[in-house]
Amino acid sequence: MKVKLFKVDGSVEDLTINTFRDIQNAVGGLVEMVDCGYHTLCCDEEGLLKDKELNVVIKFGFDVDIVGDVVVIDEDQLSRLDEMPYE
């Protein structure tokens, strides 16, 4: 599945996700999913506890305060997560 990775340094990368573990590796921890209408944001559930920086690209693009790197999944791809293997 093709997704976008929005990093705290302001860069955006195209990423191919094949397993749920790929999402965990991209965000650097346990995955928390945030519904933002047509997109789902995947971030590190413990990002605040780990003192990760505010992701300003996500702040301005989605008007939510999320720290750390964020994987953005389009609504039309969200159902594919159910079929995705963990590892």
Structural domains of the chain, count? 1
Range of the domain at 34: 2-83
Query: Residue 49 pLDDT more than 90?
Result: yes
What is the model's pTM?
0.92
- Closest by Cα among 47, 52, 53, 11 to 32: 47
Query: Residue 18 pLDDT more than 90?
Result: yes
Query: Residue 53 pLDDT more than 90?
Result: yes
